Structure 1
Amino acid sequence: MSVLISMQSVILTAAIMLLIASWRLYEKRRSFRNITSKLPTQYGVPFVGIAYQFFYSSKVYSSLSRSFDELKSLTTCVWVATTPIILTVEPEVIKHVTSSSEFLNKARDLYAHFNNGVINGIIVNPAEKWKPDRKAISPFVSHNNLMSFFPLFNDTAQNVKRKLTSIAGRDEQDVFGVIKAFGLQLSILTIMGMKMEEGTKKYNEILNAFNILVHHMAENSVYSSVGLGFLTLTPDYKKTLKFLRELVRDLIKKNPSLKAESDEYEDGKQTVINLTLKAMKQGIYNVKEVEIQSFSMIAASYETSATAVYSVLVMLAMHPEIQDRVFEEVRSVFPDEVSSVGYDDMKKFPYLDMVIAETLRLAPPIPCIGRQTLNETELRPGVRIPKEMQVVIPIYELHRRKEIWGPEADRFNPDNFLPENIAKRHPCAYMAFSKGPRNCIGFRYAEFTLRVLLITLLRSLKFSTTFKYHDIVFMPKVTLGYEVEPLLSIEVRA
């Protein structure tokens, strides 16, 4: 009898809690009626919203596209769990969101997986902290400093070429793995001023740790959308975070600037670690912030650049006639092998630039960005949104909207970036590296490394694959991910 009474009590308590939660959700939805009455809105399932769609990673982008199509609007409101979020692929709204000082904060929920004590810093810091952070690190991406890195960019390109040449003529290969391995080397060298030898135990441990981190962050980004991010905090994940923190601390201790007054690396290069240590001396950072800023820049530069290079090679392998045209353009500038690519050389490849832009349109390394309002503000005429409202811009979807890119928006077509076609589009129709003051701070670093590597590889090597373009399925990870990463065959050109 007592057991029955206890069960009844539990059921009654649960029913009361459900009623209270339902009432609160109703009140919350009513409080946002001034927005939802002006924007097409998807409420989804009570307490879950449309979050259930995110658990099928391979279908996230198709679900987003379908939502915009069904609501017949380029700016919509969706409920994710119990939180209303604005989604927009409307260029004029995007221009406002990315340029207005009212949208300088990053969207809380979209970047929740960065709050792991290792990667956050300049990526997710609130506006008042982000501004001095960006100022402290900006000398790293200054023109003169990036010019000083060109020998390192070229060394990396030659190393990748040698590695890929050594596995040419075999079956299809994991080219992405090679690019990531050398990309991590370059990031640690340019950002921390430390050389990591390929193949050493330490190097392999670092590469493995990065891969584990990216995998867990991708999972966390999904689970955090419904408040279940804690499920990804596994012992393996925590062990990896500890290893990476200790790695950065060790690199900091070994940094020459701790033993000298100079703010520069040994040959005049300004690395992120030197700049952050200088900021620490000025009281801008503490030791932990030095660690986080340095590590964030390593992760950001390594993952996005490697993904971009790989995606270009995949697209060219699937479109041999376009690859041949790029090869002829490169050979016209470098009749023989490429020994070194300079800054002025990169201006001589207009068609390669179009190929890169088209690849980043269809496969943007950062497929989604988000902002959050500092105060109540206007989103567009007639629509005001409250403080801390999140606005998410799915770049992947923006780059494929037929209203913007035409009926063949999903087709790989570098002619989309002919000057006359660019002139027809809104400036915010394409944003591979975001837009506005909170754009990617390292976009020029990425552009230079991308071009040096591609020019070097495409002059000497030809890529092909049996994987078909229409079989590619992209997935949201920390950067854009492939459900299946196409393997590539490599042939050495005469």
Structure 2
Amino acid sequence: MSVLISMQSVILTAAILLLIASWRLYEKRRSFRNITSKLPTQYGLPFIGVTYKFFNLSKVYSTVSRGFDEIKSLTGCVWVATTPIIITVEPEVIEHVTSSSEFLNKARDLYAHFNNGVINGIIVNPVKKWKPGRKAISPFLSHNNLMSFFPLFNDNAKNVKQKLIAMAGRGEQDVYGVIKAYGLQLSILTIMGTKIDEGSENYKEVMNAFNILVHRTAQNSVYSSVGLGFLTLTPEYKKTLKYLRELVCDLIKKNPSLKAESDEYEDGKQALVNLAVKAMKQGLFTASDVEIESFTMIAASYETSAIVVYSALVLLAMHPEIQERAFEEVRSVFPHGITSVEYDDLKKFPYLDMVIAEALRVAPPIPYIGRQAINETELRPGITIPKEMQVIIPIFELHRRKELWGPEAARFNPENFLPENIAKRHPCAYMAFSKGPRNCIGVRYAEFTVHVLLITLLRSLKFSTTFKYDDIVFMPNVTLSYKVEPLLSIEVRA
């Protein structure tokens, strides 16, 4: 009898709690009717919202696309668990959100997975901390400092080329693995001022740790939206985070210039870690900030550049006529081979610029971004959103909307970036590295490394693949990734 009474008490308590939660959800939804009555809205399931649609990571992008088709609008509202979020691919709204001082904070829920004690820093810092942080490390990305890195960019490109030459004629190969390996080495060298030899046991451990981090962070980004982020905190993940924190601390200690109280290393180059330490001495950063900012830039720079180069090579391998045209342009500038690619050379490749821009459109390295209203503010005429409401911009979908890019928006076509075609589009129909003051801080670093590497590879190598363009399935990891990474065949050009 006592067991029965206990069970009845539990059921009654659960029913009461459910009724209270239901009432609160009803009241919350009613409080947002001034927005949801003016925007098409998807409510989804009670307490879950539309989140259940995104647990299959391989279908995230197609689900987002169908969502916009269903609401028949480029801007709408979706309920993610019990939180309403604006989602938009409307260029006018995007321009306002990315340029307004009222949207300088990052979207809380979209970037929750970065709060792991390793990656956050200027990526997710609130505006009051972000401004001094960005100012402190901006000299690393100044024009003069990036110019000083060109010998390193060229050395990296030559190393990748030689590695791929050794793989030529052996059938389809894992090109992405090579690009990532050398890209990580370059990032550690430019950001930390120290070198980890590619191929060493330590380097293999570092690469493995980064791969685990990227995979788990992607899972966490989905699960955290419904309060289930703890499911990704496996012993392996915790061990990886600990290892990466210790790695960065060790790299900081090994930086030779820090011992000399200098802000420079190797002929006047400024490593990011030196600038971060300088900011710590000025009271702008804590010791933890130095570690986090250094690691964040390593992860962001190598991962972004690597996926852009790989995507460009995959797309060129699938479109041989476009690859040949890009090769002919490179050969016209370097008829006798390449000793080095300098900054002034980059202005001589208008067609390759179009190819890279189109690769960034079809496969944007940062597939979605989000902003959060600092105060109550206007989203667009007639729609005012409350403080802290989040606005998500799915860049992957933005770049493929037929309303913006025409009926063949999904096709790889560099002519989308002919000057006359660019002039027809709203500037915010394309935003490979975000827009506005909180855009990707390392965009020029990425542009330079990508151009130098692609120019070097295309001059010496020809790529092909049996993988079909229509069979590509993209995945929403920290950066864009492939469900199956296409392997490429390599041929050495005469």
Task: Return the TM-score normalized by structure 1.
Answer: 0.99
Q: Supply the distance in 1 between the matched residues of 2:177 and 2:52 (Cα, whole angstroms).
A: 32
1:115 matched to 2:105? The reply is no
Aligned twin of 1:444: 444
Matches within 5 A, 1:13-32: 13-32=13-32
User: Secondary structure of 1:462's match?
Assistant: strand
Number of the residue aligned with 1:359:
359
Q: Return structure 1 stretches of 4+ with deviation > 4 angstroms.
A: none
Amino acid in structure 2 at the alignment position of 1:63: T
CA distance in 2, matches of 1:463, 1:246: 39
2:463 equivalent to 1:463? yes
**1:337 match:** 337
Report sequence identity in percent: 82
**Which residue number in structure 1 is paired with residue 6 of structure 2?**
6
The Cα shift of 1:5 comes to: 1.5
Cα deviation digits, residues 106-161 of structure 1 (max 9, x gap):
00000011000000001000000000000001001100000000000000000000
TM-score by length of 2: 0.99
Specify the alignment match of 1:249 in structure 2.
249
Cα displacement string for residues 364-404 of structure 1 (whole angstroms, at most 9, x for unaligned residues): 00000000010000000000000000000000000000000
Q: Distance in 1 between matches of 2:104 and 2:48?
A: 28
- The answer to whether 1:454 aligns with 2:454 is yes
Pairing of 1:354-433 with structure 2 (within 5 A): 354-433=354-433
Alpha-carbon distance in 1 for matches of 2:246, 2:70: 49
The alpha-carbon deviation at position 209 of structure 1 amounts to 0.6
Q: Which amino acid aligns with 2:244?
A: L
1:203 aligns with 2:203: yes
1:218 corresponding residue in structure 2: 218
* Deviation (angstroms), 1:188: 0.1
What is the CA deviation profile of residues 172-208 of structure 1, one whole-angstrom value per residue up to 9, with x for unaligned ones? 1111110000000000000000011111111111111
Q: Secondary structure at the match of 2:375?
A: coil
The secondary structure found in structure 2 opposite 1:117 is coil
What is the match of residue 238 of structure 2? Answer: 238
Secondary structure of residue in 2 paired with 1:161: helix
Q: Please give the per-residue CA displacement for 1:210-256, whole angstroms capped at 9, x wherever unaligned.
A: 11111110111111111100111111111111111111111111222
Q: 1:258, CA displacement in angstroms?
A: 2.4
Instruction: Give the counterpart letter for 2:332 in structure 1.
Output: S
1:240-319 equivalence runs, <5 A: 240-319=240-319
Deviations 1:261-304 (A, max 9, x none): 32111310011101001111111111111000000000000111
State the 1:259 CA deviation. Answer: 1.4
CA RMSD of aligned residues (A): 0.7
1:51-66 mapped onto 2 (5 Å cutoff): 51-66=51-66
| TM alignment of 1:93-242, pairs within 5 A | 93-242=93-242
Query: How far apart are 1:349 and its partner, in Å?
Result: 0.5
SS class of match (1:366) = coil
| Partner secondary structure for residue 424 of structure 2 | coil
1:54-80 superposed Cα distances (whole Å, 9 cap, x missing partner) = 101111111111111111110000000
DSSP 3-state at the match of 1:151: helix
**Counterpart residue type for residue 158 of structure 1:** K
- Structure 1 unmatched ranges of 5 or more: none
One-letter amino acid of the counterpart of residue 250, structure 1: D
- What is the CA–CA distance in structure 2 between the aligned matches of 1:40 and 1:253, rounded to whole Å? 54
How far apart in 2 are the matches of 1:265 and 1:102? Answer: 39
Q: Which residue of 1 aligns with 2:42?
A: 42
Look up the equivalent residue of 1:417 and give its one-letter code: F
Aligned to 1:326: 326
1:316-356 CA distances to partner (integer Å, 9 max, x unpaired)?
Answer: 00000000000100000011221200001111000000000
Q: What SS does structure 2 have at the residue aligned with 1:263?
A: coil
Task: Output the CA distance in 1 between the equivalents of 2:376 and 2:286.
Answer: 33
- Counterpart CA distance in 2 for 1:294 and 1:247 is 11
2:453 partner letter: L
Number of aligned pairs? Answer: 494
Which amino acid counterpart does residue 449 of structure 2 have in structure 1?
Answer: T
Q: CA offset at residue 310 of structure 1? A: 0.3
Structure 2: segments with no counterpart, 5+ residues: none
Could you tell me how far 1:7 is from its partner in structure 2? 1.4
Alignment-mate amino acid for residue 230 of structure 1: F
Deviations 1:2-21 (A, max 9, x none): 22221111111111111111
Give distance in 2, aligned partners of 1:314 and 1:443: 21
**2 CA distance for matches of 1:470 and 1:391?**
31
- 1:52 is displaced (CA, Å) by 0.5
